[in-house]
């Protein structure tokens, strides 16, 4: 009777109740396989994490990366260097960079934050032989200010597994003493145990051992075990082995999750075009599944083909009109395409769907401002500040400063940028704007310091380099001006003001 009650709680997703009932009964009879199975499945379901998305890379994967990559890959063939060509950046990317901000890796922002896309530092080969000390320091920096990356990509999962075990108290299964050969002959119990090892203990080595034995027992005809083998190989960094297992599983059973896992392997190996081929193949076999279409749109965003990505986001909304990521990306694209009214409608749609966070209210405020709805803009900023924390408050105040500049209130803008840098000392855009405001007040030394700080914190942004070059030009330091303007043009080759300043410097050098 208790086993039936525990199973009923599990099916109704009341996992804590199912775990409690199973634990109480197992204390009386630990050999009850039914209750053991229910508790194992309940623990796994409670701690399950959807790992089909690409996760952040660890320090070891970045610094000790052994996958060979071309120093100048062809356009659209690398997600780590999305804008690289033989002669510089692609024209489409260069023309957009003046209106749309870029991430640290040089990728255009898309409107939706995803793991592993905005903070990956470039390798030594990508940075043209930079100092190893600088490379290590950037590799250890996390996605949020004051945080650090895990040592490995599985390090975060190990910590999660340790925390979950500590919260449960005594360890449920002692995996070191299990005879996996015995469990491999019982497929139902073996599958529950394998998922327990992957999602709760986060021990891919033990899960791999069990999956290999179970695959042999199934005479290599069970696609589920091959999929788990691929997952274990992926977590261990053996991407080619994972690729073989997922392909073998797909030949036996055409499943959406297998396409997602296989494409994640190709993206980790920096092969976006191969990932696109498999996404397209999966979408052809499963035309109504939005996960595959969304994956295609994400890959196009990774290689900075924004226009084609937008087409697939629209296809996602044709099948799922409430997809938050597709709506947010379309809204961001409309805003940067000088269509704030359309972006405002899309962000309002997110608000009606129940999304309520600082980023959404900030975007609504900017859309209202550029749509000339100034009273609504201030109200939205108030909501954003009320919901903000230390992680995103600096961005809100930075945008408040931008709006203050737009209405001509330079005093409010100065105070807003000061608050932004006090909240986040690494906010490069605020330092750059502070430098401009200080320069307007005739404080050249303070402006120079702010520009230098912005250049050091955000070497992927061209504005502080150009501002520093222009300031050095007016101060008569032509050598420094030349160095900074060349750096600005390396980041954004089509910046007209930098090109004009470079021509003036060349004329100055010729006249000397």
**Residue 163 confidence (pLDDT):** 44
Mean pLDDT score, 16-30: 87
What does the pLDDT look like over 428-442, one tens digit per residue?
A: 999 999 999 999 999
Q: Is the pLDDT of residue 306 over 50?
A: yes
**Residue 357 confidence (pLDDT):** 92
Give pTM, 2 decimals. 0.82
**Residue 456 confidence (pLDDT):** 92
- For the CA atoms of 232, 234, 236, 239, the dihedral, rounded to the nearest 10 degrees, stands at 130
User: How far is the CA of 511 from the CAs of 256, 394, 480, in angstroms?
Assistant: 67, 46, 18
**Residue 116 confidence (pLDDT):** 58
Strand partners, 148: 141
**Residue 123 confidence (pLDDT):** 44
Q: Is the pLDDT of residue 298 over 60?
A: yes
**Residue 508 confidence (pLDDT):** 87
**Residue 401 confidence (pLDDT):** 95
**Residue 270 confidence (pLDDT):** 87
H helices present in 254-289, as ranges: 256-268, 272-285
358-370 helix and 374-387 helix, angle to the nearest 10 degrees: 170
What does the pLDDT look like over 129-160, one tens digit per residue?
A: 344 444 555 555 555 545 555 555 555 454 44
Mean pLDDT score, 220-229: 94
> Where does 160-308 show beta strands of DSSP type E?
none
Q: What are the tokens at 407?
A: 């209405």
Percent with pLDDT over 70 in the chain: 78
- Taking the C-alpha atoms of residue 161 and residue 213, their distance in angstroms, rounded to an integer, is 24
* Cβ–Cβ < 8 Å for 21, 173: no
* Cβ–Cβ < 8 Å for 115, 53: yes
- Taking the C-alpha atoms of residue 468 and residue 192, their distance in angstroms, rounded to an integer, is 60
* Cβ–Cβ < 8 Å for 175, 197: yes
Rg (CA), the chain: 27
What does the pLDDT look like over 349-402, one tens digit per residue?
A: 999 999 999 999 999 999 999 999 988 999 999 999 999 998 889 999 999 999
What does the pLDDT look like over 185-200, one tens digit per residue?
A: 999 999 999 999 999 8
- Exposure of 332 in the CB half-sphere (CA atoms within 13 A): 23
**Residue 86 confidence (pLDDT):** 37
Mean pLDDT score, 14-41: 88
pLDDT band at 77 (very low <50, low <70, confident <90, very high): confident
Q: What are the tokens at 83?
A: 């804008």
Strand partners, 102: 108
pLDDT band at 179 (very low <50, low <70, confident <90, very high): confident
Provide the 3-class DSSP secondary structure of residue 26.
helix
**Residue 89 confidence (pLDDT):** 45
- For the CA atoms of 388, 394, 396, 400, the dihedral, rounded to the nearest 10 degrees, stands at 140
Q: Is the pLDDT of residue 167 over 50?
A: no
- DSSP line for 99-168: TS-B-TTSPBP-SS--TTSS-PPPPTTTTTS--HHHHHHHHTB-SSTT-B--SSTTHHHHHHHHHHHHHH
pLDDT band at 30 (very low <50, low <70, confident <90, very high): confident
Mean pLDDT of the chain: 83
Q: Which residue has the higher pLDDT, 289 or 95?
A: 289
* Cβ–Cβ < 8 Å for 470, 481: yes
- Exposure of 50 in the CB half-sphere (CA atoms within 13 A): 6
């Amino acid at each position: 009777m208790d086993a039936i009650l525990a199973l009923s709680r599990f099916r109704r997703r009341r996992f804590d109740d199912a775990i409690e009932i199973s634990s109480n009964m197992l204390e009386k009879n630990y050999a009850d396989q039914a209750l053991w199975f229910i508790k194992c499945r309940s623990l796994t379901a409670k701690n399950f994490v959807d790992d089909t998305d690409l996760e952040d890379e660890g320090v070891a994967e970045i610094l000790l990366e052994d996958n060979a990559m071309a120093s100048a890959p062809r356009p659209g063939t690398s997600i780590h260097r999305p804008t690289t060509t033989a002669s510089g950046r692609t024209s489409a990317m260069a023309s957009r960079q003046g209106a749309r901000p870029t991430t640290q890796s040089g990728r255009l922002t898309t409107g939706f934050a995803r793991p592993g896309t905005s903070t990956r530092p470039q390798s030594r080969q990508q940075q043209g032989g930079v100092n190893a000390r600088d490379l290590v320091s950037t590799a250890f920096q996390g996605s949020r200010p004051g945080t650090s990356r895990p040592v490995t990509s599985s390090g975060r999962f190990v910590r999660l597994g340790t925390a979950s075990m500590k919260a449960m108290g005594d360890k449920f299964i002692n995996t070191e003493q299990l005879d996996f050969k015995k469990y491999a002959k019982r497929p139902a119990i073996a599958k529950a145990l394998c998922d327990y090892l992957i999602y709760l203990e986060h021990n891919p080595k033990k899960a791999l051992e069990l999956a290999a034995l179970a695959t042999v027992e199934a005479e290599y005809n069970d696609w589920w075990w091959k999929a788990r083998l691929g997952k274990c190989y992926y977590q261990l960094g053996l991407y080619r082995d994972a690729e073989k297992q997922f392909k073998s599983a797909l030949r036996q059973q055409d499943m959406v999750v297998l396409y997602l896992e296989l494409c994640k392997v190709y993206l980790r190996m920096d092969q976006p075009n191969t990932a696109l081929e498999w996404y397209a193949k999966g979408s052809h076999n499963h035309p109504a599944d939005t996960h595959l279409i969304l994956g295609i749109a994400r890959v196009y965003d990774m290689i900075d083909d924004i226009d084609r990505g937008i087409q697939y986001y629209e296809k996602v909304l044709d099948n799922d009109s409430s997809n938050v990521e597709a709506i947010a990306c379309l809204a961001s694209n409309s805003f940067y395409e000088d269509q704030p009214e359309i972006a405002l409608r899309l962000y309002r749609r997110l608000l009606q769907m129940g999304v309520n966070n600082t980023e959404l209210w900030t975007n609504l405020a900017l859309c209202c401002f550029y749509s000339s709805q100034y009273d609504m803009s201030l109200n939205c900023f108030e909501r954003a500040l009320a919901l903000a924390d230390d992680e995103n408050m600096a961005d809100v105040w930075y945008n408040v400063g931008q709006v203050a500049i737009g209405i001509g209130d330079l005093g409010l803008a100065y105070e807003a940028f000061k608050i932004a840098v006090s909240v986040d000392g690494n906010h490069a855009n605020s330092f750059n704007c502070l430098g401009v405001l200080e320069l307007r007040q005739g404080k050249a030394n303070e402006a120079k310091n702010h520009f230098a700080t912005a250049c050091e914190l955000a070497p992927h942004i061209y504005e502080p380099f150009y501002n520093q070059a222009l300031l050095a030009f007016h101060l008569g330091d032509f050598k420094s001006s030349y160095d900074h303007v060349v750096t600005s043009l390396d980041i954004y080759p089509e910046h007209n003001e930098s090109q004009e300043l470079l021509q003036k410097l060349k004329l100055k050098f010729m006249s000397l």
